[in-house]
Homo-oligomer: A and B are copies of this chain.
Amino acid sequence: MTTLNILKIGGNVLADTAQLSQALNLFAQYPGPAILVHGGGRRASEILSALGHTPKMINGRRITDEAALEVVTMVYAGSLNKQLVAGLQARSCNAIGLSGADGNLIRAHKRIVKDIDYGYAGDIDEIDAAGFQALLEAGFRPVCCAITHDKQGQLLNTNADTIAASIAVALADRYQVVLNYCFEKTGVLLDAEQDDSVIPKIDSSYYQELKAQGVVHSGMLPKLDNAFGALGQGVSSVRVGNLSSLKDGSATQLTR
């Protein structure tokens, strides 16, 4: 099967010109089909504030009221997505920017209210794997922002890590999927204070050990649980690192 690289980048990369350029270079250099997934929280919060709204977050997740939804749609699907696409086109990478509404590629539902009302937050129902494959085979490289829809006309704000993992899983029986998570650190570290303590490879049983030892905790836990979940559903491998370690192959590799 053909290898498909999926690269997820976050708001910190997008906010920094040098890092953004590195990320575009990394993505443009994948030899085969590839999909870029991006978040972009910071600029949305700035615009919201400038428009006189107060960004509301609970546990690092945005509460998406109507004003916030307009702004995240403007910033994620508009300015950030098109900036990425134009930057990739300048690198002769045939990027096509997409939200989940485009081509009905990612259908979601408005998150059910339990303790917290997240507003227009979307939980994914279905990825159109055939639609993504059609675009990839037509020579396009999808650049997906963190906006989905419910196919009833409602746009929804959806976590970009989850979008990346869901696309990876949905395409796992069509491609050998490598999911690349870009974050601040060079990889999963044995010692959080030591940037050179990257663990090269972690399989599920070693992951259980690391969790038991408390090496993996707090912010890394949902990310890695998510990644091992994707591996359990057919994704070939997951790489976790920053732009340079993902590029030179020294990022942590997660396997089943």
Q: Which residues of A contact B (CB under 8 A)?
A: 47, 50-52, 70, 73-79, 81-83, 85-87, 89-90, 94-99, 101-104, 134-135, 138, 140, 147, 149, 151-155
Q: Say whether B86 contacts A153, CB under 8 Å.
A: yes
Contact A90 to B153, CB < 8 A, known contacts A74-B79, A140-B103: yes
| Other-chain contact of A96, B75, B82, B98, B147 (Cβ < 8 Å) | B98
Contact A104 to B82, CB < 8 A, known contacts A77-B77, A97-B99: no
CB distance from A27 to the nearest CB of B (A): 14
Chain B residues with CB under 8 A of A102:
82, 85, 95-97
| Other-chain contact of A85, B52, B74, B101, B135 (Cβ < 8 Å) | B101
Q: Say whether B86 contacts A154, CB under 8 Å.
A: yes
Q: Say whether B101 contacts A97, CB under 8 Å.
A: yes
CB distance from A80 to the nearest CB of B (A): 9
Chain B residues with CB under 8 A of A77:
77-79, 81-82, 97
Chain B residues with CB under 8 A of A82:
73, 77, 99, 101-102, 147, 149, 155
Q: Say whether A94 contacts B104, CB under 8 Å.
A: yes
Contact A89 to B101, CB < 8 A, known contacts A50-B51, A51-B47: yes
> CA separation between A83 and B239, bound complex, in Å?
34
Q: A74, A75, A98, A138: which has the most chain B beta carbons within 10 Å?
A: A74
Q: A70, A83, A101, A140: which has the most chain B beta carbons within 10 Å?
A: A101
Chain B residues with CB under 8 A of A103:
94-96, 140
Q: A85, A135, A151: which has the most chain B beta carbons within 10 Å?
A: A85
CB distance from A240 to the nearest CB of B (A): 29
Chain B residues with CB under 8 A of A140:
103
CB distance from A132 to the nearest CB of B (A): 12
